[in-house]
Structure 1
Amino acid sequence: MARKEILPQSAAFIYTMWFFDKGGYLQDLLHKLKYHFMRGVGIELGYLLGKDFLHQQSTEELKYIDDLNPVIIPVPLHVKKRRKRGYNQARALAEGVSRSTGWTIIKKGAIKRVRKTKTQTGLTLEERSKNLKGAFQVKEPKLVLNRKCVVVDDVFTTGATTFELAKTLYEVNEVSSGILTVARA
């Protein structure tokens, strides 16, 4: 679903495969990925996401991205949440995207979620943005300098999380990030 929309300067594009089906199969699948350690589902969904993205882009758009040596950035979880959950579902998705695109994934720990934020569920866009302000930090700037960062997450709702991460990356490398998600709510 390629949609043209007004984006912040830090985001070059948003690409999602499906619209979120509240109460449906996709919601169940994403819930299992997130809370039941179904890494394989994440890797497969990520593979399909990457393949679908490549298929939908023009040769010129892909060349532009490839010329900027793309690096995949899974949205990091705060260390406490990662410990509780057991793993980061965005990293599993990123592994699949990497398999289908050939792009590298940033090494673990290079970008961190440095502030533990409350759940975004039920918050307005303004509340979500305030909740996430300053939540991310690039620990190893050399790994993103002059590269096209491609942020990967499971669901794009208001964009507060991915836009905050893209803004943090933009402050370091001044290259707008792309955003890939499995679903859009």
Structure 2
Amino acid sequence: MIHIGSYEVSVQTADGQQKAAVLSSASVEEMPDAWWFSWPELWNITDFDCQNIVKLSVDGRVWGLIRYGLYPFPGQPVFLEVEHVEANPLSRGILANRRVQPIGKWLIWYAVQTAFQRALNADDDTLVILTALASDFDYYRNSIQMECLGPLTIAPGEEGYVFRLTSTAAASFCRQQERQWGRPRSI
């Protein structure tokens, strides 16, 4: 299993409280079945030799999940692909309705840390890549500050975009996240 460790990070609840959240590898028992993605099915098809599913949890409750893989596999990985990322349905939508924030940014932060530790990336080439729905375009471009590589048909009738972070952009994203929310503590 691709595991770089667990981290305690700072999040904010809907009532404005700062709380400690944990970023760590998820277990099959924690896979929700009422979210957008079918996480139990994703768990069953995950190759833990090159992929992992990580959770962000607060007080024992899972608030977000990310599934990523290091590629090429087999061989020395050179990039990380974010394959699925999702916030708990109770914490989606406009900022005022989110019960916990930032979920996606911490999950992406964890994936970037994994890429830095495991991927051999030379000459500031693509370190992290993901494909997002058209509805998520602004989030990845503006909030994560990923570079859009262009449109892509995800499935018939479903348009999306491919995004990337170079090593330099990934490091910048992590520094910005840590300045705003504090430096994660390894646990």
Shorter-normalised TM-score: what interval? 0.3 to 0.5
Larger relative contact order (Cα-Cα within 8 Å, sequence gap ≥ 6): 1
TM-score (norm 2): 0.32
TM-score (norm 1): 0.32
